[in-house]
Amino acid sequence: MTTIRRFCCNDLLRFASVNLDHLTETFNMSFYMTYLARWPDYFHVAEGPGNRIMGYIMGKVEGQGESWHGHVTAVTVAPEYRRQQLAKKLMNLLEEISDKIDKAYFVDLFVRASNTPAIKMYEKLGYVIYRRVLRYYSGEEDGLDMRKALSRDVEKKSIIPLKRPVTPDELEYD
Amino acid sequence: MASKFGLAGGIPERRVRPIWDAIDSRQFKTALKITTTLLSKHPHSPYALALKALILERMGKSDEALSVCLNAKELLCRDESLLMDDLTLSTLQIVFQRLDHLDLATSCYEHACGKFPNNLELMMGLFNCYVREYSFVKQQQTAIKMYKLVGEERFLLWAVCSIQLQVLCGNGGEKLLLLAEGLLKKHVASHSLHEPEALIVYFSILEQQEKYSDALEILTGKLGSLLMIEVDKLRIQGKLLARAGDYATAANVYQKILELCADDWEAFLHYLGCLFEDDSCWSNETINAPIHPPKFVECKLTHLTDEVFDSRISNASAFVQKLRAEASNDSLRNPYLAHLEIERRKFLFGKNNDDDLIEALLQYYSRFGHLACFTSDVEAFLQVVSPEKKMEFLDKLMKNSNSLSAVPTKALGQSITLLKTQELIGNMFRLSVGELEGSAVQMAELYRKNLPLSKELDPQESMHGEELLSIVCNVLVQLFWRTRNLGYFVEAIMVLEFGLTIRRYVWQYKILLLHLYSHFGALSLAYERYKSLDVKNILMETVSHHMLPQMLASPLWADLSNLIKDYLKFMDDHFRESADLTFLAYRHRNYSKVIEFVQFKERLQHSNQYLVARVESPILQLKQSADNIEEEESILESLKCGIDFVELSNEIGSKSLTFNEDFQSRPWWTPTKEKNYLLGPFEGISYYPKENLTKEREANVRGIVERKSLLPRMIYLSIQSASVLQKDSSEINGSLADPKISSELKTLLERYAKMLGFSLNDAVDVVVGVSHGLKSYEAFGSDIIDWLNFAVFFNAWNLNSHEFGQHGGECTPGSWHLVNSLLESYILGKVRSMEPLIQSPQGDLPILVQLVTEPLAWHGLVIQSCVRSCLPSGKKKKKSGSMDQSLSLLTHAIRDAIQSLCGILEEVAKWSQDQINSPEDNKIDILVSPLRRNGQDEGPGQVFHIFETLVSSPNETELGNRISQALRDWSPVDVARKIVSGQCTVLSEFWRICESKIKSLKTLKQQIAQV
Ligand SMILES: CC(C)(COP(=O)(O)OP(=O)(O)OC[C@H]1O[C@@H](n2cnc3c(N)ncnc32)[C@H](O)[C@@H]1OP(=O)(O)O)[C@@H](O)C(=O)NCCC(=O)NCCS
């Protein structure tokens, strides 16, 4: 039912019904295209019958030493395809690429502290809240930095939660 | 940015750093200061100059920046001993690029590379310049040089990509691919390949030459191991095998894919394609293929014999059975959809009648009927069966509805699916008014009853049954279309507003509402809704069709201007930065993205919407300044007097256009921007195609662009033509009464007439006929605006030409009268027959606005130009003696024309004012009271009543706090008030436009009186 393949530019013209969702940000072109130019294996789309876009995930891999990690920049699923394990599949794919191909230590992501459905999902998928980032979203809403350790981080050091919240300028990567 | 030796462009790094820091923190003045100091020490340092230019550019001083840059460039090129480093060049490059002088940057790098032929860094810079210029051939040559220099795989691939671009996007012949292949082959033999992306490009080069078996050989060889993801590899393999015609092996490969990803629908379709030796699913891979392909899955079956078909289809069935059995969870839809597809093919092949397909659909429903995607899943299957069968399917589903799931959310989902299926097969159009009402009520009840299911939901989450309100709205609009009872229309609005009160994020409601508000003339309100969708970046290309077309014919010029400006800025920004991103893909060795990016940029450049916006943008400016001829002239000047647009008009016929709009989310009554069923009478059409009618739209867009892009030039020429006439020819030599203007305007008039389907003479006859009442306005068809424009420009031309003597001859009022009477009788006819806006959605307001802001405005410009040239100007000494006769005739004509336009505008303004001034409460009452006829079981208001009841006593324990609170906030009167004030905003803007024109005409009247 679902074909998962690399995201390509033309998909930008077809994802309107997914992106009109109020929690899904439509970035500028250079943002998408930078991801496509640099991390094409971290940008996947799920297509259903009639070539409908069901959802997509975009991410990257970055960091030095033990903080070499995969990052989920956005994951979103069109309302009519929700609760069918699609986001889970997309997340698993990104985790697998981070783990097997890029040998990263963990995968992380930021989520709005108010986005309860997404937080619940990430928790279900094994992510823990690593730290809170104060006023991460446009200087207003807090973000949660969530992480999941990969096989290379045998002792799961990367996900030991921080005691205190941080501010956006303390973040190592944006 | 530091170079190796702590030197930046020959200057110690520590001196340069503070400058960059200041630039980065946007302290341009400080930066400039430090740079000036630096320049006093190093007056001939190109790098310091480049920095200065960069800062000046950032400060907005483009001219200065350019001259400093040129200075730096000259130093670089002149002084042989100077250091030529990439840092200096790339800084200059940035500035040149921002100043739109890519060519100068390129020539710097060309010079540098000539001087230091073996400097890789400089060559990369040069390559980058060519990428920016889309000079594929030079890219290729530069890449080859780099490859020869260091032998690296990446430079070879840069060259290969450049070759591929020549073939795909340039005018390179296919045989170039052979060259690319040769290069790759040779490199592989000596060095092998190391990047998966390189391999992918290699395959595409081979594929383009249809060398499938060569590609397969490579894939299955050692190089194949570069592809780490097994499925990716299998997909390539399957495709190559199929294209090579080895369908049997390909089918096996697709089987393998399905065993790995049982849910891969595309793989299943390819699998079937291979079984049936049918390549139609691969033939559709052209660059300009529509972005939203038809849902219908193409397939060819006729070439198969009965036996072959039977055996293959039973193989497929067995395989699907197996997949289904192995599926770890039975929520996977693929195996079940696959079964449907098999039944569909059997039916298409004539093996089965459609009963089996219907049966399979029913099974699919029983399993997945509760899912929101059910209808879109089955759409393509339903398309192939007869209307009767569709009804039968629906009947069976209805029977099923007695045995809904025991889980309430599932049961609700099933019920909604049923309703959506009914919509999908067009059953709504068959139901009687009473039945439709009944079904709307039923749906509203269903919504109400199920509201408690969403009690615990987070407000961010979609609520259960949300879709119901969209369907109710669709039904109510249908009822309005049939009965023309405004109550249903208002009720449709209320339903959606009610839904938004409960949860304000539902974009589907917002889109429906914006169309309803547009149709109701409350465009400012529609625009509010549109803005709340947060349509930005690429969504402007795909979603703005919901709003832009209505705005083009509206008096909301400020909003329209923003809409167009934002859109054009987005597109132009992308065109500007796209090459840099392409270079990024080169650098990161994602070669397939290089090709993709360039093709994507081309797709956007050919966007039909982009072209239209580029034409509409100057026309809007011209409309906005039409009351002031000096302003108008300066706008025309900035448009090069419209020359480029004439060019565009000439070219449009041969330009390829792309259609990127996403029409999926448009309401049924306006499936494309060109269509609005509500404008016409009800027709019992049973199926409303939602597909892009690309062919039809293409012709339409070409027509619009071709015509509209002549306007700026015609306006310009008309002004010219009208301003030279009075200087009587005896006194003035040819330079003023420029015959070129007259002949060019005539040529354009001929073209304009031709677009309307006539020769110039015949078109003139038509307008004369209509103005004399010999022909009716019907003769203009739907092109009324264009016809009136034609009449206006014809008059302007006639003022300066002797050709159409029979219509008045030199400066006589004939053609003036023609225009006056056409405008007067048409516009006043419209105004006098228009019903109050509040009672008649849409009506003629948009056309009225266009009439006033286009032909009437252009005519006003002709008048202004005439008046101006009649006035004694300061520079020339006033002609003494008697006014000659032609001048007196002309002033007379002008006075009449002014009088006529004023009369028209005053009546239009009064009409608007009356609408605005009619008491708000009355208007609100007109909207709300038809809905509040409690207890009626007929006519509008029944759905509304259900919500009113719910609101009057919300059960807080059942609904929870949030929903109860939202219900308490619901106020239909507020909604009605917003509609009223939305209409008033539009009318006020229109009134303002009329008033401004009246004012300007009155001034002209005084001026002409003094002549
Ligand atoms: C969050 C989102 C991506 C989930 O997509 P999805 O395809 O429905 O998620 P899945 O079906 O894969 O969910 C996997 C599990 O996550 C949990 N989960 C998902 N959505 C949930 C919700 N709304 N509430 C509670 N748990 C949820 C569930 O445990 C679910 O498994 P289950 O259905 O078997 O119980 C989707 O709701 C969405 O697109 N939201 C808007 C965009 C967004 O917020 N993105 C995240 C920020 S970048």
pLDDT at B878: 45
Nearest-neighbour CA in chain A from B223: distance (Å): 17
For residue A120, give the chain B residue with the closest CA: B458
- How, if at all, do strands A69-77 and A106-112 pair? parallel
Average pLDDT of span B325-351: 84
- The tally of domains found in chain A comes to 1
Give how far Cα B734 sits from Cα of B200, B444, B622, B739, Å.
67, 76, 29, 8
Closest listed residue to residue B901, CA positions, set B945, B942, B864: B864
Q: Is A85 in the pocket of ligand 1 (CB under 6 A)?
A: yes
Render pLDDT for B217-263 as a digit per residue (tens, 0 to 9): 999 999 999 998 889 999 999 999 999 999 999 999 999 999 998 88
B597 neighbourhood in chain A, CB within 8 Å: 9, 33, 36-37
* Count of CB pairs separated by less than 8 Å, A with B: 146
Q: Would you place residue B692 in the very low, low, confident or very high pLDDT band (cuts 50, 70, 90)?
A: low
* Lowest-confidence pick of A29-38, B125-134, B289-298: B289-298
Q: What is the DSSP letter of B833?
A: H
The token duo for A108 is: 């992380």
SS3 for B80-135 is CCCCCCHHHHHHHHHHHHHCCCHHHHHHHHHHHHHHCCCCHHHHHHHHHHHHHHCC
Q: Would you place residue B724 in the very low, low, confident or very high pLDDT band (cuts 50, 70, 90)?
A: low
Render pLDDT for B375-421 as a digit per residue (tens, 0 to 9): 999 998 998 888 889 999 999 998 877 788 889 999 999 999 999 99
| Cα–Cα dist B477/B516, whole Å | 9
Contact check, Cβ <8 Å, B507/A27: no
Alpha carbon nearest to ligand 1 atom 42, residue: A76
Question: Chain B contact for A154, CB < 8 A?
Answer: no
Do residues B112 and B76 lie in contact, with contact meaning Cβ atoms separated by under 8 Å? Answer: yes
A15 Cβ contact partners less than 8 Å away, ≥ 6 residues apart: A45, A53, A56
CB atoms within 10 A of CB B952: 8
Instruction: Taking the CA atoms of B140, B145, B150 and B151 in sequence, report the sign of the dihedral they define.
Output: positive
Which of B45-49, B269-273, B786-790 reaches the highest mean pLDDT? B786-790
pLDDT at B282: 74
Q: Give the domain ranges of chain B.
A: 1-133, 536-716
> Residue B396 belongs to what H/E stretch?
helix B387-400
The better pLDDT of the pair B73, B560 is held by B560
Question: Nearest 10 degrees: CA dihedral of B874, B875, B880, B885?
Answer: -90
3-state SS assignment for residue B407: coil
Tell whether the model's pLDDT for residue B539 goes beyond 90: yes
Give how far Cα B649 sits from Cα of A4, B709, B755, Å.
43, 6, 11
For residue A96, give the chain B residue with the closest CA: B229
Question: Chain B contact for A47, CB < 8 A?
Answer: yes
pLDDT at B686: 53
Nearest-neighbour CA in chain A from B615: distance (Å): 23
Q: Would you place residue B121 in the very low, low, confident or very high pLDDT band (cuts 50, 70, 90)?
A: very high
Residue that has been written with the tokens 């690319």 in this structure: B180
**pTM of the full predicted structure?**
0.93
Tell whether the model's pLDDT for residue B1011 goes beyond 90: no
Q: Would you place residue B888 in the very low, low, confident or very high pLDDT band (cuts 50, 70, 90)?
A: confident
Render pLDDT for A151-172 as a digit per residue (tens, 0 to 9): 999 999 999 999 899 999 888 8
Alpha carbon nearest to ligand 1 atom 18, residue: A121
> Which residue in A15, A27, A29 has the most chain B C-beta atoms within 10 A of its own C-beta, making it the best mutation to test that interface?
A29
Distance B443 CA to ligand 1 centre (A): 28
Do residues B688 and B676 lie in contact, with contact meaning Cβ atoms separated by under 8 Å? Answer: no
Render pLDDT for B630-668 as a digit per residue (tens, 0 to 9): 999 999 999 999 999 999 999 998 888 999 999 989 999
Tell whether the model's pLDDT for residue B53 goes beyond 70: yes
Question: Nearest 10 degrees: CA dihedral of B226, B230, B236, B240?
Answer: 100
Quick one: what percent of chain B has pLDDT higher than 90? 69
Alpha carbon nearest to ligand 1 atom 21, residue: A117
pLDDT at B691: 55
Contact check, Cβ <8 Å, A49/B597: no
Tell whether the model's pLDDT for residue B904 goes beyond 70: yes
CB-CB: which of A9, A81, A116 is closest to B373? A81
- Would you give the distance in Å from CA B52 to the centre of its chain? 40
Alpha carbon nearest to ligand 1 atom 27, residue: A121
End-to-end CA distance of chain B: 70
A92 Cβ contact partners less than 8 Å away, ≥ 6 residues apart: A125
Do residues B811 and B889 lie in contact, with contact meaning Cβ atoms separated by under 8 Å? Answer: yes
Question: Chain B contact for A162, CB < 8 A?
Answer: no
Distance A162 CA to ligand 1 centre (A): 25
Q: Is A97 in the pocket of ligand 1 (CB under 6 A)?
A: no
Average pLDDT of span B75-97: 82
Q: Is A23 in the pocket of ligand 1 (CB under 6 A)?
A: yes
Give how far Cα B39 sits from Cα of B34, B763, B824, B973, B982, Å.
9, 68, 69, 70, 60
- Would you give the distance in Å from CA B226 to the centre of its chain? 40
Distance A118 CA to ligand 1 centre (A): 6
B388-400 as b/e: b if 16+ CB within 10 A: ebbbebbeebeee
| Cα–Cα dist B691/B795, whole Å | 43
pLDDT at B841: 85
Average pLDDT of span A135-149: 94
Contact check, Cβ <8 Å, B377/A48: yes
Which residues numbered 114-153 in A keep a CB inside 8 Å of some CB on B? 114-117
The better pLDDT of the pair B6, B356 is held by B356
Q: Count how many Cα atoms sit within 13 Å of the Cα of residue B258 in the half-sphere of its side chain.
A: 29
Residue A142: give its domain's CATH number: 3.40.630.30
Q: Write phi, then psi, for B280 (nearest 5 degrees).
A: -65, -25
- How, if at all, do strands A106-112 and A141-149 pair? antiparallel
Q: Is A72 in the pocket of ligand 1 (CB under 6 A)?
A: no
Quick one: what percent of chain B has pLDDT higher than 70? 92
Closest listed residue to residue A145, CA positions, set A161, A124, A157: A161
CB-CB: which of A2, A50, A117 is closest to B460? A117
Residue that has been written with the tokens 């068959």 in this structure: B430
Q: Which long-range contacts (CB under 8 A, 24 or more apart) does B434-440 make?
A: B434/B938, B436/B475, B436/B478, B436/B479, B437/B479, B437/B938, B437/B939, B437/B942, B439/B475, B440/B472, B440/B475, B440/B476, B440/B479, B440/B942, B440/B943
CB atoms within 10 A of CB A163: 6
Q: What is the DSSP letter of B645?
A: H
Contact check, Cβ <8 Å, A49/B380: yes
Contact check, Cβ <8 Å, A30/B581: yes
Q: Would you place residue B293 in the very low, low, confident or very high pLDDT band (cuts 50, 70, 90)?
A: low
Task: Cite the DSSP H helix spans in B873-971.
Answer: 885-917, 920-928, 942-952, 956-969
Tell whether the model's pLDDT for residue B733 goes beyond 50: no
pLDDT at B288: 58
Contact check, Cβ <8 Å, A117/B461: yes
Contact check, Cβ <8 Å, B600/A9: yes
Question: Chain B contact for A28, CB < 8 A?
Answer: yes
Average pLDDT of span B435-450: 95
Site to substitute for ligand 1 among A77, A86, A91, A121, most atoms within 8 A of C-beta: A121
Tell whether the model's pLDDT for residue B687 goes beyond 60: no
3-state SS assignment for residue B33: helix
Do residues B897 and B823 lie in contact, with contact meaning Cβ atoms separated by under 8 Å? Answer: no
CB-CB: which of B295, B538, B588 is closest to A38? B588
A33 neighbourhood in chain B, CB within 8 Å: 578, 581, 584, 597
For residue A12, give the chain B residue with the closest CA: B538
Contact check, Cβ <8 Å, A16/B539: yes
Closest listed residue to residue A34, CA positions, set A54, A4, A65, A62: A62
| Cα–Cα dist B543/B533, whole Å | 10
Alpha carbon nearest to ligand 1 atom 13, residue: A85
- How, if at all, do strands A69-77 and A52-62 pair? antiparallel
Average pLDDT of span B885-901: 86
pLDDT at B734: 39
Distance A83 CA to ligand 1 centre (A): 6
Site to substitute for ligand 1 among A71, A83, A89, A110, most atoms within 8 A of C-beta: A83
Average pLDDT of span B940-966: 92
Question: Nearest 10 degrees: CA dihedral of B364, B370, B374, B375?
Answer: 110
Q: Is A19 in the pocket of ligand 1 (CB under 6 A)?
A: no
3-state SS assignment for residue B607: strand
Nearest-neighbour CA in chain A from B303: distance (Å): 25
Burial of residue B810 (number of CB atoms within 10 Å: 0-12, 13-18, 19+): middle
Render pLDDT for B181-197 as a digit per residue (tens, 0 to 9): 999 999 999 999 999 99
pLDDT at B807: 45
Tell whether the model's pLDDT for residue B284 goes beyond 90: no
Tell whether the model's pLDDT for residue B5 goes beyond 80: no
pLDDT at B806: 45
| Cα–Cα dist B375/B440, whole Å | 19
Q: Is A115 in the pocket of ligand 1 (CB under 6 A)?
A: yes
For B521: left if phi > 0, alpha if psi spans -120 to 50, otherwise beta; the answer is left
Contact check, Cβ <8 Å, B291/A13: yes
Q: Mean pLDDT in chain B?
A: 89
Residue that has been written with the tokens 């919240």 in this structure: A165
Q: Is A74 in the pocket of ligand 1 (CB under 6 A)?
A: yes
B898 residue type, one letter: I
Site to substitute for ligand 1 among A60, A77, A144, A148, most atoms within 8 A of C-beta: A77
Contact check, Cβ <8 Å, A1/B376: no
Distance A54 CA to ligand 1 centre (A): 13
Tell whether the model's pLDDT for residue B809 goes beyond 70: no
Q: Is A46 in the pocket of ligand 1 (CB under 6 A)?
A: no
Tell whether the model's pLDDT for residue B621 goes beyond 90: yes
pLDDT at B778: 87
Residue that has been written with the tokens 């995969």 in this structure: A70
* Lowest-confidence pick of B134-143, B491-500, B935-944: B935-944
SS3 for chain A is CCEEEECCHHHHCCCHHHHCCCCCCCCCHHHHHHHHHHCHHHEEEEEEHHHEEEEEEEEEEECCHHHCEEEEEEEEECHHHCCCCHHHHHHHHHHHHHHHHCCCCEEEEEEECCCHHHHHHHHHCCCEEEEEEEEEECCCEEEEEEEEECCCCCCCHHHCCCCCCECHHHCCCC
Contact check, Cβ <8 Å, A37/B462: no
Answer whether CATH 1.25.40.10 is correct for domain B1-133. Answer: yes
Question: Chain B contact for A26, CB < 8 A?
Answer: yes
pLDDT at B611: 95
B101 residue type, one letter: H
B742 Cβ contact partners less than 8 Å away, ≥ 6 residues apart: B721, B797, B800, B801
Alpha carbon nearest to ligand 1 atom 33, residue: A83
B288 Cβ contact partners less than 8 Å away, ≥ 6 residues apart: B603, B606, B656, B658
Distance B459 CA to ligand 1 centre (A): 14
A160: containing domain: 3-170
B522 Cβ contact partners less than 8 Å away, ≥ 6 residues apart: B978, B979, B982, B983, B985, B986
> Which residue in A33, A111, A119 has the most chain B C-beta atoms within 10 A of its own C-beta, making it the best mutation to test that interface?
A33
